[in-house]
Amino acid sequence: MIARHWTLFTSALLLLALASPAAVSAEEGGMVDAAAAFEKIKGMAGTWIGTTEGTGEAEAEARGDMEAKLVYQVSAAGSVVMETMMPGTDHEMINMYHLDGDELVLTHYCAAGNQPTMKLDRSHHGALKFNFTGGTNLDPAVDTHIHGAQLDFREDGRVGSHWTSWAGGKEAGTMEFILTRQE
């Protein structure tokens, strides 16, 4: 009987240890924490240019021959990164990245007039993935809005900036910017 309790106790402890975020360090698993991800985004400060590709609702907007321009600026004593998409155009949009405790938050200020918020999900240094957590001026079950984003840091120095839109409560399309830092 004691052996059975000991086995159950040991199994429970092992399960708790494996479920604990501290069980595998960020470095061992190749995962990145919010602070390291934020530093990676800060390192993008400057102007990036490239092309766009899209699917679904975004396909008409994303023509491969259309030049994309994104500008990253670190502000507020290093506590926020402002990303300006398509500056100076009718479709200019702003994205703000900041830390909220131990979470990295992204708010997308859309040309559609809504402001979806996303948080960093399980990510690694090569790809930072953000998932929808809410927003203002939108009903996610009905309205078109950005529902996810991902920054892919490629070995050749380029960055892929992926945006997933939702409409009617489901995925409606994607937009991808393939960017190179402007010299």
Q: Which residues contact 65 (CB under 8 A, 6 or more apart)?
A: 51
The per-residue pLDDT for 109 is: 99
pLDDT band for position 122 (cuts 50, 70, 90) = confident
- Cα 116 from chain centroid (whole Å): 12
Q: Which of 14-18, 108-112, 162-166 has the lowest mean pLDDT?
A: 14-18
Rounded distance, CA 62 to CA 52, Å? 5
| pLDDT of residue 25 exceeding 60 | no
The per-residue pLDDT for 47 is: 98
The per-residue pLDDT for 58 is: 52
Rounded distance, CA 150 to CA 123, Å? 9
Q: Which CATH superfamily is domain 30-181 in?
A: Calycin beta-barrel core domain (2.40.128.20)
Q: What are the structural domain ranges in the chain?
A: 30-181
| pLDDT of residue 148 exceeding 60 | yes
Average pLDDT on 140-160 reads 97
pLDDT tens per residue across span 45-102: 999 999 988 776 555 455 555 679 999 999 999 999 999 999 999 889 999 999 999 9
The per-residue pLDDT for 66 is: 63
| pLDDT of residue 22 exceeding 50 | no
The per-residue pLDDT for 126 is: 92
Q: Minimal CA–CA distance to 117: which of 161, 74, 147?
A: 147
Q: Minimal CA–CA distance to 63: which of 71, 54, 75?
A: 54
| pLDDT of residue 24 exceeding 50 | no
